[in-house]
Homo-oligomer: A and B are copies of this chain.
Amino acid sequence: MTKIKDNTTDQTLCPVARAEAVVGDRWTVLVLRELFARSHRFEEIQAQTGGTPQMITARLKKLEADGLVTRRVYNKHPLRHEYHLTEKGTAFFPVLMALRAWGEAWCKSPRDGRAMNYTHITCGKPAGLGPVCESCGEPVRRDDMVGERTPKYQKERDARWEAFKASR
């Protein structure tokens, strides 16, 4: 079992350093992204993040220990779990949204296009990138939006799943 460093970073008052002790790791964030995308099973998460089983096991264990994730039994004999976000995990949403906005704005070639489009439920229009709805100006929360993958991104995910299945 692989362990993950969380250092003595919790010996600082700085909330950024403390948060990073929990989520300061690429795999961890990718796993969280999948949980927000409603992938709850181990293999889905593994396939869509591209991590090795150990990476995923270790992150899920740490996320559970840190209180962001719970295991939920969906099948005994054989014992099988689904992974779900807790309140603490769900509260991470704004960080993911900010990261997404920054990634959209600064980390891609313009011809790539969007991966997701969000609709602000309360106003029914596109939510845009910022923390505030582009269409109506209200602050947006997780439960106030519906996300929809663009066909291109959906295709990419389907392909990844197929590739994953084929390789085993």
Q: From residue A69, how far is it (CB to closest CB) to chain B in Å?
A: 13
Asked if A139 is at the interface of the complex by the 8 Å CB criterion, the answer is yes
The answer for the CA separation of A150 and B12 in the assembled complex, in Å, is 13
A130 on interface, CB distance cutoff 8 Å: yes
Known pairs A24-B25, A30-B20; A14 contacts B153 (CB<8 A): yes
Q: Is A58 part of the binding interface, using a Cβ–Cβ cutoff of 8 Å?
A: no
A17 closest partner in B (C-beta) = B30
A sample of 16 more A-B contacts (CB under 8 A), given A13-B114, A19-B103, A94-B98, is A13-B115, A13-B152, A15-B103, A15-B108, A15-B115, A16-B30, A17-B33, A19-B102, A20-B30, A21-B26, A21-B107, A24-B25, A95-B98, A95-B99, A98-B131, A131-B131
Residues on A facing B (Cβ under 8 Å)? 7, 9-10, 12-26, 29-30, 33, 88, 91-92, 94-108, 112-115, 130-132, 139, 150, 152-153, 156
Closest to A104 in B: B15
Q: Which residues of B contact A9 (CB under 8 A)?
A: 26
What B residues does A114 contact at CB under 8 A?
13
Partner of A115, one of B14, B88, B108, B150: B14
A95 lies within 8 A of B88 (CB): no
Sample 7 A-B pairs with CB under 8 A, ordered by A number.
A15-B107, A16-B96, A16-B103, A19-B99, A21-B26, A21-B107, A131-B132
Contact at B106–A20, with CB atoms within 8 Å? no
Shortest CB-to-CB span from A135 to chain B, Å, is: 15
